[in-house]
Structure 1
Amino acid sequence: MINIFKDKKTFKEIFIDKVESTYAIDFNESNTYQQYVCLGQLLKQHIGKDWNQTRKKEKEMRQVYYFSMEFLMGRMITNNLMNAGVYDVVKETFDELGLDLNEVEHKESDAGLGNGGLGRLAACFMDSVAALKLPVHGNSIRYRYGFFKQKIENGYQVEYPDRWLKDIHVWETRRQEESVDIPFYGHIEINVDDNGKLHVYHKNAEYVKAVPYDVPVIGYHNQVVNTLRLWSAEPSDLYENQGGTFEYHKKLRQISEMLYPNDETDEGKILRLKQQYLFSAAGLNAVLRKHKEIFGTLENLSEKAVFHINDTHPTLIIPELMRVLVDEEGMDWDKAWDITRNCVAYTNHTILAEALEKWPIRLFQPLLPRIYTITEEIHRRFEMELRAHFGENAREVLAMAILKDGMVHMANLAITGSFSVNGVAALHTDILKEIEMKDFNDYYPNKFNNKTNGITHRRWVVQSNPELVSILKDTIGDEWIYDTTKLEGLLKFTNDDQILKRYDEMKLARKTALADKIYKEQGIQIDPTSIFDIQVKRLHEYKRQLMNALHIMHVYNELKTKPEVRQSFHPQTFIFGAKAAPTYYFAKKVIKLINTIAEKINNDSETSKYLKAVFVEDYNVTYAETIMPAADLSEQISTASKEASGTGNMKFMMNGALTIGTLDGANVEIGELVGNDNIFIFGLDAKEVTQLQKEATYKPYDLYLNDPKIKRVIDQLTNGFFTNVPQNEFEEIRRNLLDKDQYYILKDFDAYVKAQQKANKAYQDRTAWLKKSMINTAKSGFFSTDRTMFEYNRDIWHLETIK
């Protein structure tokens, strides 16, 4: 078989022939989309043999199946070319042909398989396990529409469908032969035969066929290709026309239509549960089927398989595995439970009680009748165990219950049915163990562990920041690409004037690239020599984009009224990127406020050369690849104790940005690594927030009355300061801040203002700032997902590497 990418001559001939034969045109008539499709298909063909060999080698190995509702992969073409080791051949050939590889790469749509940190983390995990040669495979849903495409119209977020699958998805392979039929509704009949054996029948079920589409995940220069399996809901041959074919097809399409349908209605909750059961049950059953083909039994399952659930969405794996072992394999309950608990591991991603999944029994039971009775039995046995341990009426019995208050508590089920539960940052895990899940941690003292999140440096530096790659190669070589601890070698160059100058040039180049993109797409001109202060993440109240916005208003007031402030202030550009959930009204109002502030300050001829604000439209992975290397100041300002980890903070840090933030999530570990002089920490810490919540004595109105700068910005929300909106446009924001301020924005505001002033002043000592920037890059190696995945494997999975 010819090596397509052996050299430029070979690749050029094959590529031209591929384009001409695929589209029946002369090559010089082809467009960039056609070139992208053919390049992708050739690369997929090139790695096909390695993919097959990997599957063969993994066959009898212990493997991990990583279940996540989201895998936010971004565009895959560049990453795949780099990981396969053929990028340079392709780039040089395209240059010879007069083609812009960058333009061709941009013809790929961002795969709409996630909306934020959970999905991006899962994507980084997949990259790293392949790089480390670990047999780990993803399972998710093949959503036809992504989260949504965001447009800003009159300052408001407006959602449009993200039809990312409208074109060819070159990476996927449909595996029709591995489809799984999934039952919903119906009723359960249980018989016991003369031998005492249980027989369970699911009658009148409404079946849906889950069809897998496999996507290759290429290891970095190592010939390992793992699999991301995406499940699509399609009509089942077992469907019996009970409710009408049209209605069946309509409901069927919805299951794999879009990520996170609105679950404020019963209909939305049912759809979310259908999605969760479909990919959990389909993924599990496909693994069990193959396992039995190889080993002839499921009794050794826990020796060969780990089902890792990323957040609570795939928790139904636990009762589904029990169903297979008890109903289909005829195992007794205790044996089946022992296997199940030794197969499942759970990663918790939240400490917000309201974000822990709970499903009404009145909806769960009719939709998943057998899964409910098994969940009920798990609950009953666990409750008996707790009563025996703590006492008949002990507080812990109710606190740890799986079924209570008419709800199925998914986190409690996930903890009970797994052998490992991990948090995703040191502080997050401590809060889980000592506060939020203390009862479970006391009861299962060795089950909880920490695995601090990370990012894949191959995408977030190697792919995104060529100038930084060049500096690193010239100073410390390229071993850091394989081992990020080597980044510490950069510390030896923090006093090297030449390298500091190149660091400065690198930042300016990346900032100019972002400024050009923003001008091209939104017509807003920003100064690349200003401080780029960036907050990009999901729009949520606890992430406190609102505090950032109020601070910009305060800076504007200072610049407008005090000439001495203008003289000592380095120009600063505040850049936001965020999507608010379509039904999250308050978050959407914050977006409107940010855009209203931007319109006012950007058009003020007196201050706009000092201060600008931009809300970038439709922030996604591809946009992030331009944003992350361009930041000077990384905004990580969530209310302490609310952010599990964060990963944007790590991407910014690795690219030389300094963090301004609270002691929350992984900021704690960033601060410990870089030292107090190289980070700007402010505000309440987690213990102080917890204490305030316990005391319930916080009165934000007092701060409003006693701090003139707070009073001024709060009043400006509704006193006609903004002339292009109705005067009461932001009344709800004002009322929320003064009545409850549950995320302590006003409490932390003064500390945030002072931290910002300190950062602005520090930036003006350019050499000192560049040293701080280099220290952040040098100390960021800990936050590689290669390290995270190594720890998952060492402490939880215990896999051998693929030889």
Structure 2
Amino acid sequence: MFDNKEQFKKAFLSKLEMSVGKSFEETSPQDQYHVLGNMIREYISTNWIKTNQVYHSTEAKQVYYLSIEFLLGRIMGSNILNLGIGDVVEEGLRDLGISLDDLESNEPDSALGNGGLGRLAACFMDSLASLDLPGHGCGIRYKHGLFEQKIVNGVQVEYPELWLQNGQVWEVRKSDLSVEVPFWGKVESFEDEQGRLRFRHRDAEPIMAVPYDIPVVGYQTETVNTLRLWNAEPANVPFHDDIMRYKRETEMVSEFLYPDDAEDSGKILRLKQQYFLVRASLNSILNSFRKKQKDIRELPNYVSIHINDTHPVLAIPELMRILLDEEMLPWEEAWDITVQTISYTNHTTLSEALEKWPVRLFQPLLPRIYMIVEEINERFCKELWERYPGQWQRIEDMAIIAHDQVKMAHLALVGTHSTNGVAYLHTEILKKREMNNFYEIFPERFNNKTNGITHRRWLMKSNPALTGLITESIGDKWKVEPPLLKELEHYKDDAAFLEQLEKVKHENKVKLAERIFQQNQIKVNLDSIFDVQVKRLHAYKRQLLNVLHIMYLYNRMKEDPSFRPHPRTFIFGAKASPGYYYAKKIIKLINTVAEKVNNDKTTNDYLKVVFLENYRVSLAEEIFPAAEVSEQISTASKEASGTGNMKFMMNGALTIGTMDGANVEIFERVGKDNIFIFGMTSEEVMNYQANGGYHSSEYYMLDRRIHEAVNQLVNGFFPNTNGMFDVIYDSLLIENDQYFVLRDFDSYVKTQEKVSNAYQDKKGWNKSSVVNIANSGFFSSDRTITEYANDIWHVKPVNSPIIKA
């Protein structure tokens, strides 16, 4: 049906009328989107079935990627691109008076993630399929995702993210593969007929995990992998207590991503989500393996289970439970199989982000799993005692259960064969500082896998004009071998190419300016520098440093009429977690500064501040191609990797950043003349944290620029904000500026001046832009996934016969 546009039009019109019962003229864009989506899914189905058949029949090892988040964004455009049917669909719809872009806008972003963790998982799924690797994703089908963000009077207001209200055209419900997941109850021990000690879980409250499968289409390949999302539904069992309570609590398990865990009820719900994901996924994985009729001891030869951060760490005791209670293996054999099968990615150096669960909640909710974790801990602590006799503090620091808490990162480090960081600097910090005790025992388990992004979505799909220019210049092999982008460096002194590149950037700026005006009613200067910081709102990411710099520029212009910097548009996008009070105050501050600056006629030709609400994948696809300056200004040593930095780089923006996360590797590839580095090093930050010596009040007292801007947070400079920003003021001065905003302020200001000066040499700026694009191929997730496949999972491509639907 996609061989040519006439065939497509005929099929589209026929299916449209049959499926919605209306004439073409009466159908809505939503009707048209659903019909096109169903046609594409039908087109995919033959290869999807064939891929699964090959995986089931082959001896090849398969990988299962468990993640609490998969931030997919819109799926239709990606599928059309990967299937190579874009021209047929676009031309056919155009003949019918329909814009493909308008049709795609009817698709809601798949609201299954929050930030970089979830988007990384989505990029990995794309790369696994595009590289013909047998890889499956396992996640949760959240009904509402995180939240839809509205900005009301400058304040973040959270609304339910109703992404499923019109159905999900890409998913296939498979209720026959449902899995029962038990909670609560008690564990009884007994001897079986052979005299072996056995355990059974009694009086549990079960819920059903119902799988919804989404096809993941590879680029220019017949491989169609599967993302399996689990939906929580009531089990078909009799209950004697409050049936409405049971139904409500069951459905809450897959209702929201990251429920607020300030109270015990929220902690229990999060823990339920995590066990729900691993119990359902491992049951499915083991059922698939058993169909091969192999000995369970061969599991690591055929299956690799990867846990994305600590959320799915319960996969370790759950696999132990299966091997002990169902397969009846002895502990030592079960443990060896578990460690060989499971691998772990760490995503943070922040101790507050490493999950810990109170035993008083964990034990009654998951009684059998707790027993197994307790045994793992006992055996591990015994090994530590034999290795470090008398070193009680070390053993206490490394224990999996200590101070009535279960430490999930420790369980991950002990119960897997591989722990990887996500950028070279991050991995070195894990080995030398954060997880040094474990590195001493398991040095062979630690490795680095620098993150990557799929160039298909973040360049080919989101920036077709730049894609066309690149292909026109170096051919199209880079699309399947992104390191070939390096050939673009031959054009960094080509005047005609640089002129075309500048034209592409300008066109993308025009599109984003239209979005800004439509959404915020702010008219921005197209000749201004588009300076962008889009990411989760968190103190360590230092959106505050960016805002204080804007306040400084404004203050200086007001005091000195002769000071007029190159015009700049500062663009922000970020969601703050609903319970993160401080982060929400930063959002309010950004919008308050925007109101002040944008409405001042003496400065607004030079400064504009824009906060784009409800930052999400589809909005990001509009922002990255237009960006010229990429703000990557986290406190050194705090950002594990970052992936936004790679998306900006790939679209030709220049980075201003600290030597943190993957910024270090970007710097190494583009050279010091093509990136703007400022601020403390990670070593300096860690030295302050270990030994003290930083006094933010000194910077406040001695730097007039800082003194003025910080005072403006509390002195009535911003109308109608009495007491509103006290928490920010206090964080900088009373709490001694935990993330060194004031310490790095001067360096940041001076480096921003370098940015402004460099921008005025347009030829030099565009040359640096080319160098960034040319060196972005390394940061493709195809490279990252190839490293995972070769070094950790030991999986190889499986090529099935090409099938044309």
Which TM-score tier does this pair reach, normalised by the shorter chain? Answer: over 0.9
Q: CA deviation at 1:444?
A: 0.5
Q: String of CA shifts for 1:519-546, please: whole Å, max 9, x gaps.
A: 0111111112100000000000000001
Match of 1:55 in 2: 52
What letter corresponds to residue 780 of structure 1 in structure 2?
S
Q: CA deviation at 1:128?
A: 0.6
Q: Does 1:174 align with 2:169?
A: no
Question: Matches of 2:726 and 2:2 in 1, distance apart?
Answer: 61
Q: CA deviation at 1:194?
A: 5.5
Match of 1:215 in 2: 214
Contact 1:288 1:298 in 2 (8 A): no
Q: String of CA shifts for 1:268-313, please: whole Å, max 9, x gaps.
A: 0000000000011100011101211222542211110011000000
Contact 1:544 1:745 in 2 (8 A): yes
Question: Matches of 1:243 and 1:415 in 2, distance apart?
Answer: 40
Match of 2:31 in 1: 34
Q: String of CA shifts for 1:203-247, please: whole Å, max 9, x gaps.
A: 10000010000000000010100000000011112x331331111
Q: Does 1:446 align with 2:441?
A: no
What letter corresponds to residue 639 of structure 2 in structure 1?
E
Aligned with 1:481 (options 479, 482, 486): 479
Q: String of CA shifts for 1:7-46, please: whole Å, max 9, x gaps.
A: 1111111110000000111112211111110101011101
Match of 1:376 in 2: 374
Match of 1:732 in 2: 727
Contact 1:531 1:632 in 2 (8 A): yes
Aligned with 1:639 (options 610, 635, 638): 635
Match of 1:184 in 2: 183
Match of 2:321 in 1: 323
What letter corresponds to residue 576 of structure 2 in structure 1?
A
Alignment of 1:265-414 (within 5 A): 265-414=263-412
Match of 1:711 in 2: 707
What is the DSSP-based 3-state SS (H/G/I as helix, E as strand, rest coil) of the residue aligned with 1:166? coil
Q: Which moved more, 1:726-735 or 1:357-366?
A: 726-735
What letter corresponds to residue 625 of structure 1 in structure 2?
E
Question: Matches of 1:647 and 1:290 in 2, distance apart?
Answer: 34
What letter corresponds to residue 510 of structure 1 in structure 2?
N
Q: String of CA shifts for 1:686-714, please: whole Å, max 9, x gaps.
A: 00000011122211111111011100101
What is the DSSP-based 3-state SS (H/G/I as helix, E as strand, rest coil) of the residue aligned with 1:565? coil
Alignment of 1:569-648 (within 5 A): 569-648=565-644
Q: String of CA shifts for 1:369-391, please: whole Å, max 9, x gaps.
A: 00000000011111111111111
Question: Matches of 1:140 and 1:495 in 2, distance apart?
Answer: 47
Question: Matches of 2:636 and 2:116 in 1, distance apart?
Answer: 18
Contact 2:234 2:251 in 1 (8 A): no
Question: Matches of 2:247 and 2:403 in 1, distance apart?
Answer: 34
What letter corresponds to residue 674 of structure 1 in structure 2?
V
Q: Which moved more, 1:188-197 or 1:64-73?
A: 188-197
Match of 1:72 in 2: 71
Q: Does 1:8 align with 2:40?
A: no
Q: CA deviation at 1:396?
A: 2.6
Contact 1:424 1:644 in 2 (8 A): yes
Q: Does 1:518 align with 2:513?
A: no
Q: CA deviation at 1:392?
A: 3.8
Match of 2:802 in 1: none
What is the DSSP-based 3-state SS (H/G/I as helix, E as strand, rest coil) of the residue aligned with 1:299? helix
Match of 1:754 in 2: 750
Contact 1:662 1:683 in 2 (8 A): yes
**Could you tell me the TM-score, scaled by structure 2's length?**
0.98
Q: Does 1:796 align with 2:792?
A: yes
What is the DSSP-based 3-state SS (H/G/I as helix, E as strand, rest coil) of the residue aligned with 1:614? strand
Match of 2:147 in 1: 148
Q: String of CA shifts for 1:171-200, please: whole Å, max 9, x gaps.
A: 000111111101000000011235331221
What is the DSSP-based 3-state SS (H/G/I as helix, E as strand, rest coil) of the residue aligned with 2:138? strand
Structure 2 regions of 5+ residues with no counterpart?
800-805
What letter corresponds to residue 399 of structure 1 in structure 2?
D
Question: Matches of 2:291 and 2:697 in 1, distance apart?
Answer: 67
Match of 2:241 in 1: 243
What is the DSSP-based 3-state SS (H/G/I as helix, E as strand, rest coil) of the residue aligned with 1:342? helix
**Could you tell me the TM-score, scaled by structure 1's length?**
0.98
What letter corresponds to residue 386 of structure 2 in structure 1?
A
What letter corresponds to residue 178 of structure 1 in structure 2?
L
Contact 1:19 1:38 in 2 (8 A): yes
Question: Matches of 1:300 and 1:626 in 2, distance apart?
Answer: 47
What is the DSSP-based 3-state SS (H/G/I as helix, E as strand, rest coil) of the residue aligned with 2:444? coil
What letter corresponds to residue 245 of structure 1 in structure 2?
I
What is the DSSP-based 3-state SS (H/G/I as helix, E as strand, rest coil) of the residue aligned with 1:226? strand
Question: Matches of 2:525 and 2:134 in 1, distance apart?
Answer: 47
Q: String of CA shifts for 1:315-368, please: whole Å, max 9, x gaps.
A: 001000000110111110001001100000000000001100000000000000
What is the DSSP-based 3-state SS (H/G/I as helix, E as strand, rest coil) of the residue aligned with 2:297? coil
Q: Does 1:225 align with 2:218?
A: no
Number of residue pairs aligned between Structure 1 and Structure 2? 796
What letter corresponds to residue 302 of structure 2 in structure 1?
K
Match of 1:678 in 2: 674
Contact 1:255 1:271 in 2 (8 A): yes
Question: Matches of 1:208 and 1:300 in 2, distance apart?
Answer: 31
Question: Matches of 2:246 and 2:192 in 1, distance apart?
Answer: 35
Question: Matches of 2:284 and 2:630 in 1, distance apart?
Answer: 43
Q: Which moved more, 1:332-341 or 1:240-249?
A: 240-249
Match of 2:107 in 1: 108
Q: CA deviation at 1:394?
A: 4.3
What is the DSSP-based 3-state SS (H/G/I as helix, E as strand, rest coil) of the residue aligned with 2:200? strand
Question: Matches of 2:504 and 2:696 in 1, distance apart?
Answer: 43
Structure 1 regions of 5+ residues with no counterpart?
none
Match of 1:435 in 2: 433
Runs of 4 or more off by more than 6 Å in structure 1? none
Match of 1:548 in 2: 546
What is the DSSP-based 3-state SS (H/G/I as helix, E as strand, rest coil) of the residue aligned with 2:723? coil
Contact 1:198 1:330 in 2 (8 A): no
What letter corresponds to residue 11 of structure 1 in structure 2?
F
What is the DSSP-based 3-state SS (H/G/I as helix, E as strand, rest coil) of the residue aligned with 1:754? helix
What letter corresponds to residue 421 of structure 2 in structure 1?
G
What is the DSSP-based 3-state SS (H/G/I as helix, E as strand, rest coil) of the residue aligned with 2:190? strand
Contact 1:514 1:626 in 2 (8 A): yes
Question: Matches of 1:734 and 1:326 in 2, distance apart?
Answer: 55
**Cα RMSD (Å):** 0.9
Contact 1:453 1:788 in 2 (8 A): yes
Question: Matches of 1:392 and 1:459 in 2, distance apart?
Answer: 55
Q: String of CA shifts for 1:521-574, please: whole Å, max 9, x gaps.
A: 1111111210000000000000000110010000111122223321xx210010
Q: CA deviation at 1:449?
A: 0.2
Identity %: 52
